[in-house]
Structure 1
Amino acid sequence: MDTTLQHSAYEPTAPVLSVVVLCYRQGEYVGACLQSVLDQKIDVPFEVIVGDDNSPDNSLEVIESFRRRFPEVIKLVAHEKNVGFSGNFADTVALARGEYIANIDGDDVMSPGKLQRQLDFLRSHPEYGLVVHKMRTVDQDTLEPVAYPLPQKKPVTFDAEYLIKNGPFFFHSSEMYRAHLRRRHPVDVGLKSVPDVAHLTQVLMGSRGCYLDEDLGLYRVNRTGLTSVRINNPSRHRECLNDVIQTCQVAADLGMASDAVNQGRAKFYLTSAIFYLEHGSEDDFEDCIESSWRAARIGSKQMVLYAMRRWPRTLRAIYTGLKQMAGRQRASA
């Protein structure tokens, strides 16, 4: 690949854009990630700040090799002990000097023109504080297309209340936002498993986001990533649930309407109730569906699950059958 940057990137002027790269145990991929950032053609000075969370592999060596080649552009935050995603993000984004900040994880890749497209959007639409985009999901090694369970509904515009009620429908690596919105509040480093919704809520309070239905990046689906290890792991799912419930409290503390916050709590508890039901964790299912019901009434699925909460085995058989029927219908459509 051509590693030539536009001249403005090397000038010792304050950067307009800061690209925050988060890395943990991604030595095999972080080089391609950094190269895709450096290959961006953009009409403003920019900087790249890489936070490595004490990776046990060769991630730091790969990052250092790039930093030595591009010392005017790349800065490194090398943690001497593992601080987790939130801690790594907090320490890295704190060094961002730009008017705009773009996020990317160390195993993802930017498509040509990504940064300029998002920057142009934010400069021409001052009413928006965040712009995100579609990403192509691929196997981490083969780069063959793979499915990823993002929500099907992707609104063109959204706000913090939408994310609290529905959760994110895009990837962390697609985000670009105005830095002053991020700087209003400290990153919540207490969130260890699901930190991104709280970050987005802090950025979007009083502003709006836009989703570009344009493929501007490549997302590697990591078989040992957060979703597989924690969110989809029954023994560790509770810490993820605790994080999203804490995120609802973050939203409340920022002044979000109580109805929206309670709907968010109900939705998150309902999602966990279904997860526990499918995995046969009957006590956890009952606890979560009751918590969801107490938080807010959010639809017929919640009502049926709550009404049948005392018969989880029967309910699981019915629910599994309905899912199989729905899957066959989609496959034959």
Structure 2
Amino acid sequence: MTLFRVLKMTDRKPKVSVCIVTYNHENYLRLCLQSIVDQKTDFDFEVIVGEDCSTDGTRAIVQEFADKYPTLVKPLLHEKNVGPSLNYLITAAAARGQYVASLDGDDCALPGKLQAQVDCLDANPDVAFAAHAVKVMGTDDVMGAEEKYPTKGTVDDLLMHGTYFVHSSVMYRRKNEFDHAHLLTVVDFFMHVERASKGRIFLDRRVLGCYRVHPQGISKNPAYRELLENCYEAAFDRALELGASKEVVQAGRLKRRMAFSVARYLAGDVRGYQHKIKIDRHERSFASTKHLILHWTRFFPNLLGIYTRIRGMA
């Protein structure tokens, strides 16, 4: 189905576009889609599903829901695999609602999610996007409810904390979107930085969704890890272009480099750790005392193993 046909399926413009991206989610997608179509709201919404040429039964499930809910579910069925970044951008570009909610095909919404986030954005014109806490499936863990994160955050909070909410909890104002057609790859953090330059970040500590963690997910892939690190660097550069404080950007950048360095060490990439943790002589600044210690452990990487056990980082 072409993008043009999807946009012409109905002339009624919805209040919210729910954009779902999916690839090989046969075991999870039905729950995801049902959790959205069952939402009770006092406004119209549409569900746009970007299906990235899956090799399992994912596409059949998308078509099943499109047939069952023809005025609600709009499938975008790619003829070839375009990858997660481009799939996301294409799907988001098809949105027609005032607000856009993002959801991955292996996650799901809880009752009241859409109504709660629309009420928030309607009542808070200074908020650029809203997020909420989520339950990690198969555990008792909750993400996004920590008191250390502000209820109404700024781009500075985002730069210092990183993404302190999950992508599948975000609803944003479509009018604030930037043109991302030039981007070949994009990560959530980059998009959040751009959106936060337009207003506040509202964090609802109520659990309004469920998030799935895959032990062998894409983030375990070394190539993806390198891409992620590069995209974060680009996001910090973008924050400077958008007027963020140079001091905050530098502090956030160093803190993120430290986290990536430790992640490389824990993944067995000692050489990558030694390279990433090193601070150039002309910089000579550190995110924290911990960062300073880690910087010098690059000469004796075995000490990091001891340090991480002591600090509870491993």
Q: TM-score normalized by structure 2?
A: 0.88
Amino acid paired to 1:27? E
* Residue of structure 2 aligned with 1:215, choices 207, 213, 231: 207
* Residue of structure 1 aligned with 2:184, choices 187, 190, 202: 190
Aligned residue pairs, count? 304
The answer as to whether partners of 1:26 and 1:59 remain within 8 angstroms in 2 is yes
Determine the structure 1 residue equivalent to 2:256.
Answer: 268
Q: Which moved more, 1:287-296 or 1:249-258?
A: 287-296
Q: Which moved more, 1:299-308 or 1:170-179?
A: 299-308
* Residue of structure 2 aligned with 1:304, choices 288, 293, 296: 293
Give how far 1:253 is off: 2.8
Give how far 1:204 is off: 1.4
Partners of 1:292 and 1:27 in 2: CA distance: 47
Partners of 2:269 and 2:145 in 1: CA distance: 24
Partners of 2:17 and 2:305 in 1: CA distance: 50
The answer as to whether partners of 2:53 and 2:80 remain within 8 angstroms in 1 is yes
Summarize the Cα distance change of 1:188–1:264 in structure 2 as closer, same or farther, 3 Å threshold: farther
Partners of 2:31 and 2:173 in 1: CA distance: 26
Determine the structure 1 residue equivalent to 2:241.
Answer: 253
SS at match of 1:135: strand
Give how far 1:188 is off: 6.3
Summarize the Cα distance change of 1:312–1:224 in structure 2 as closer, same or farther, 3 Å threshold: closer
- Alignment map for 1:93-132 (pairs within 5 Å): 93-132=92-131
Give how far 1:100 is off: 0.6
* Residue of structure 2 aligned with 1:165, choices 154, 160, 167: 160
Determine the structure 1 residue equivalent to 2:309.
Answer: 321
SS at match of 1:309: helix
The answer as to whether partners of 2:127 and 2:199 remain within 8 angstroms in 1 is yes
- In structure 2, runs of 5+ residues without a counterpart are 1-8
The answer as to whether partners of 2:218 and 2:224 remain within 8 angstroms in 1 is no
Summarize the Cα distance change of 1:148–1:44 in structure 2 as closer, same or farther, 3 Å threshold: closer
Partners of 1:187 and 1:265 in 2: CA distance: 25
The answer as to whether partners of 2:153 and 2:200 remain within 8 angstroms in 1 is yes
Determine the structure 2 residue equivalent to 1:50.
Answer: 49
The answer as to whether partners of 2:19 and 2:91 remain within 8 angstroms in 1 is yes
Determine the structure 1 residue equivalent to 2:17.
Answer: 18
Give how far 1:280 is off: 4.5
Partners of 1:163 and 1:75 in 2: CA distance: 32
Amino acid paired to 2:206? E
Amino acid paired to 1:169? Y
Determine the structure 2 residue equivalent to 1:74.
Answer: 73
The answer as to whether partners of 2:51 and 2:78 remain within 8 angstroms in 1 is yes
Deviations 1:232-252 (A, max 9, x none): x5x653232122112222222
Summarize the Cα distance change of 1:260–1:185 in structure 2 as closer, same or farther, 3 Å threshold: farther
* Residue of structure 2 aligned with 1:177, choices 167, 172, 175: 172
- In structure 1, runs of 5+ residues without a counterpart are 1-9, 139-143, 328-333
Amino acid paired to 2:167? H
The answer as to whether partners of 1:263 and 1:295 remain within 8 angstroms in 2 is no
Summarize the Cα distance change of 1:179–1:316 in structure 2 as closer, same or farther, 3 Å threshold: same
Amino acid paired to 1:126? P
The answer as to whether partners of 2:47 and 2:72 remain within 8 angstroms in 1 is yes
Give how far 1:206 is off: 2.7
Give how far 1:295 is off: 7.5
Amino acid paired to 1:16? K
Percentage of identical aligned residues: 30
The answer as to whether partners of 1:188 and 1:198 remain within 8 angstroms in 2 is no
Deviations 1:243-270 (A, max 9, x none): 2112222222333222222222211211
